[in-house]
């Protein structure tokens, strides 16, 4: 599978830290500054913007902000985008009150978003000589910098998904962030301590300050749990020339998700695309349920732990089918793109081939012969989350399209009125009034709830399955100890 998660990147960073400690070469100052700026950027993206809400949420986030603010005068080279006055003051090494005074005097350009001043980092003094690490550089610190840079990009690209994953775990955002932040701080501490140990005395001031910061930051973060839903945040790179069924399935899933997201983001999306999203989601859930059966038959899942997932998937399929039928009764008169049609056909073919030979369903042995079930379930798990995200977005469309007057239906299917007599007689389509399609909005919300529950149960089932596999391997090794 060509999926990389935040957990994978941090595991690679841990490995590079071990490799770095074994390297006796001094750390060049430029290489350290590049790593320094990138590490701060990653920590900044992890902490994220200020959070409004309950007092407990604000206080929890403030604790992480204090850890970040203690970082020694960050180097301004890798960071981009708007920041609040608090972080601008941190970057400039000035009190927040002084920065706000300069903003009000017009000396620092800023915008007001209704809650705080936002300062574009391009308007602050910058060091052009602090550049991102060269990915072609074989030195461990440069590779470590690139790894942390990719992790920062991954967080930025999946900000919305991070929030939904945290909600699914019933955690506060900062409770999920603290373990990951502590791990990144630990990586910076190892790199800084190594730079101090092997570097020339003229270049160790900055690494020494970072090492001192990390020691205090880890104490401030305290005893944090190791697990976090943020570690499952993923980036995908499907094979460009898929050969095996697993590769074709992964490639088709990623291509369809990308095309569907583009279509749903159109100003007026096509109802044909919305219907197909519901239809493909139903098919995807059905294939997932069948692969859970196959995994249990192949003893990749112990007992009957997938029963709950199958039940939730069945409920979600029914709700998506209801939404499919209702969206089929209306139209926005927009056509799907050729790219989406091609991606949808490829996905339908790949999903069908996974569990069927034409119209004949494969039995468990036939599925396991031509498919890596564990890999396929992992791919379907991520795709199911994408489907749930799209269904969640679609639930807002009925109200938006009805208010805009761009949702149409045959006049004969709508409540009769004097103004529609001619339209009913001639079989014309007319704009639907907001109060005439309440069932569509209700069904869309029901489909969202069912999809969210199904995806949460699928995640739990797959994670439990991995734990059982590990336990089974450990038990087998223990049983063989006397023989060895």
Query: Which burial class, exposed, middle or buried, applies to 479 when counting CB atoms under 10 A from its CB (0-12, 13-18, 19+)?
Result: exposed
The crossing angle, in degrees rounded to 10, of helices 438-480 and 373-394 is: 160
Binning pLDDT at 50, 70 and 90, where does residue 13 land? very high
3-state secondary structure of 432: coil
Contacts 24+ apart (CB under 8 A), 21-27: 21/190, 21/194, 23/139, 23/140, 23/194, 23/198, 24/198, 25/139, 25/198, 26/198, 26/199, 26/200, 26/203, 27/141, 27/194, 27/195, 27/198, 27/199, 27/203, 27/207
Q: How many residues does the chain have?
A: 484
The crossing angle, in degrees rounded to 10, of helices 438-480 and 271-297 is: 20
Residue 469 clears pLDDT 60, i.e. is over it: no
Top mean-pLDDT range of 9-23, 35-49, 366-380: 9-23
3-7, 115-119, 455-459: which range is least confident on average? Answer: 115-119
Residue percentage of the chain with pLDDT more than 90: 45
Give the closest residue to 45 by CA, choosing from 72, 74, 17, 20: 74
Give this prediction's pTM: 0.75
* pLDDT for 225: 66
With beta carbons less than 8 A apart as the criterion, state whether 280 and 348 touch. yes
Please give the average per-residue pLDDT across 136-147, as a whole number. Answer: 93
Distances (CA, A) of 185 to 19, 88, 348: 18, 21, 45
Say how many C-beta atoms besides its own lie within 10 A of residue 427's C-beta: 9
Say how many C-beta atoms besides its own lie within 10 A of residue 264's C-beta: 18
* pLDDT for 293: 87
41 vs 77: CA distance, rounded Å: 10
161 vs 230: CA distance, rounded Å: 9
* pLDDT for 383: 93
3-state secondary structure of 362: coil
3-17, 220-234, 365-379: which range is least confident on average? Answer: 220-234
247 vs 477: CA distance, rounded Å: 32
The crossing angle, in degrees rounded to 10, of helices 140-157 and 6-21 is: 160
What backbone torsions phi and psi does residue 441 show, to the nearest 5 degrees?
A: -65, -40
484 vs 359: CA distance, rounded Å: 50
* pLDDT for 475: 37
Residue 390 clears pLDDT 70, i.e. is over it: yes
* pLDDT for 288: 94
3-state secondary structure of 117: strand
Top mean-pLDDT range of 70-79, 101-110, 120-129, 224-233: 101-110
Residue 314 clears pLDDT 70, i.e. is over it: yes
**DSSP string spanning 389-418?**
HHHHHHTTHHHHHHHHT--EEEGGGS---G
Distances (CA, A) of 232 to 10, 235, 378: 11, 10, 11
Per-residue HEC secondary structure of 249-312 comes to HHHHHHHHHHHHHHHHCCCCCCHHHHHHHHHHHHHHHHHHHHHHHHHHHCCCCCCCCCHHHHHH
CA angle (149, 153, 159) in 5-degree steps: 140
329 vs 484: CA distance, rounded Å: 68
Residue 465 clears pLDDT 90, i.e. is over it: no
CA atoms within 13 A on the CB side of 53: 12
Query: Which burial class, exposed, middle or buried, applies to 240 when counting CB atoms under 10 A from its CB (0-12, 13-18, 19+)?
Result: exposed
209 vs 205: CA distance, rounded Å: 6
Higher pLDDT, 54 or 379: 379
Top mean-pLDDT range of 83-92, 335-344, 460-469: 335-344
123-137, 234-248, 347-361: which range is least confident on average? Answer: 123-137
Summarised one tens digit per residue, pLDDT across range 39-90 is 998 998 898 876 666 677 777 888 888 898 888 876 654 455 677 777 777 6
For the chain, how many helices (H) and strands (E)?
18, 9
Summarised one tens digit per residue, pLDDT across range 251-303 is 999 999 999 999 999 999 999 999 999 999 999 999 999 999 888 876 666 55
Summarised one tens digit per residue, pLDDT across range 189-208 is 999 999 999 988 888 899 99
């Amino acid at each position: 599978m060509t999926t990389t998660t935040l957990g994978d990147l941090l595991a690679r960073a841990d490995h590079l830290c071990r490799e770095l400690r074994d390297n006796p070469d001094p750390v060049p100052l430029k290489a350290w500054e590049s790593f320094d700026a990138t590490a701060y950027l990653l920590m900044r993206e992890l902490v994220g913007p200020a959070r409004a809400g309950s007092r407990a949420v604000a206080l929890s986030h403030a604790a992480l902000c204090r850890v970040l603010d203690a970082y020694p005068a960050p180097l301004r080279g890798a960071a981009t985008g708007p920041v609040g006055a608090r972080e601008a003051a941190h970057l400039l090494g000035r009190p927040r009150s002084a920065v706000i005074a300069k903003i009000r005097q017009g000396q620092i350009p800023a915008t007001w978003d209704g809650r705080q001043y936002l300062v574009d980092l391009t308007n602050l003094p910058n060091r052009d000589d602090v550049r991102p690490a060269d990915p072609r550089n074989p030195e461990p610190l440069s590779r470590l910098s690139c790894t942390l840079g990719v992790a920062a990009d991954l967080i930025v690209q999946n900000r919305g998904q991070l929030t939904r994953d945290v909600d699914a775990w019933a955690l506060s955002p900062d409770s999920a962030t603290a373990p990951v932040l502590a791990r990144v701080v630990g990586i910076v501490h190892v790199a800084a301590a190594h730079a101090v140990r092997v570097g020339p005395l003229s270049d160790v001031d900055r690494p020494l300050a970072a090492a001192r910061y990390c020691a205090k930051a880890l104490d401030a973060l305290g005893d944090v749990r190791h697990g976090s839903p943020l570690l499952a945040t993923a980036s995908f790179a499907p094979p460009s020339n898929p050969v095996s069924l697993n590769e074709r399935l992964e490639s088709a899933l990623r291509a369809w998700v990308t095309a569907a997201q583009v279509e749903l983001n159109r100003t007026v999306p096509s109802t044909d695309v919305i219907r197909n999203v519901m239809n493909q989601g139903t098919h995807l859930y059905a294939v997932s349920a069948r692969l859970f059966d196959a995994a249990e038959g192949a003893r990749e899942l112990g007992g009957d732990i997938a029963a709950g997932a199958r039940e939730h998937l069945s409920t979600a399929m029914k709700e998506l089918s209801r939404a499919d039928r209702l969206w089929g009764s209306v139209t926005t008169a927009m056509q799907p793109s050729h790219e989406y049609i091609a991606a949808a056909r490829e996905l339908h073919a790949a999903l069908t081939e996974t569990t069927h030979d034409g119209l004949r369903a494969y039995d468990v042995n036939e599925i396991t012969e031509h498919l890596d079930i564990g890999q396929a379930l992992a791919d379907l798990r991520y795709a199911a989350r994408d489907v749930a995200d799209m269904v969640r977005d679609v639930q807002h469309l009925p109200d938006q399209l009805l208010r805009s007057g761009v949702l149409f239906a045959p006049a004969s299917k709508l409540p009769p009125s004097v103004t529609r007599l001619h339209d009913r007689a001639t079989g014309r389509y007319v704009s639907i009034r907001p109060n005439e399609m309440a069932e569509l909005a209700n069904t869309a919300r029901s489909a969202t709830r069912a999809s969210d529950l199904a995806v949460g149960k699928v995640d739990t089932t797959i994670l439990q399955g991995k734990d059982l596999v590990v336990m089974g391997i450990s038990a087998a090794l223990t049983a063989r100890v006397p023989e060895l």
